[in-house]
Amino acid sequence: LFRSIASNFPTVLAALAARLLVGLGVGEGDAWDAIRALMRGAVANLDSDTPARALTGPIARGDADTVRRHLAALGEQPEMLALYRGLSRIALEIARDGGTSEDALETIDEMLKR
């Protein structure tokens, strides 16, 4: 199971991210260039630190406004919305370990439950 999660799902997540970018009008090649760069950065962060310190993005920052916008943008895509909510709940746990403001994380957690 851990092999599937660690080796297969990053590819699945990259494909989903590419689908979102292409849906916004970004060319497929440019979308993949952007995604590869982001994923290289994420792996580099993990190579040098713990998940709690390597995590970036709106949940790590406690940025509820960005999470709210993401949820709204995915409102028409129920499978993507469910995936975003599920992964975000796990990111909340990691962000707590990283010292993100508990108040901010509570706000985000409430939004994810709706």
Domain ranges of the chain: 1-48, 51-114
Measured CA to CA, the distance from residue 33 to residue 86 in angstroms comes to 26
Q: To the nearest whole percent, how much of the chain has pLDDT over 70?
A: 100
pLDDT at residue 27 in the model: 98
How far is residue 95 from each of residues 54, 59, 82, 102, measured CA to CA in Å? 10, 7, 20, 9
pLDDT tens digit string along 25-54?
Answer: 999 999 999 999 999 999 999 999 999 999
How far is residue 37 from each of residues 14, 33, 42, 75, 104, measured CA to CA in Å? 11, 6, 9, 27, 28
pLDDT at residue 98 in the model: 95
pLDDT at residue 44 in the model: 96
pLDDT at residue 76 in the model: 86
* pLDDT category of residue 103 using cuts at 50, 70 and 90: very high
Residue 17: CB partners within 8 Å, gap ≥ 6?
A: 31, 35, 38
pLDDT at residue 89 in the model: 97
pLDDT at 61 over 90: yes
pLDDT at residue 20 in the model: 93
Helix (H) / strand (E) element for 26: namely none
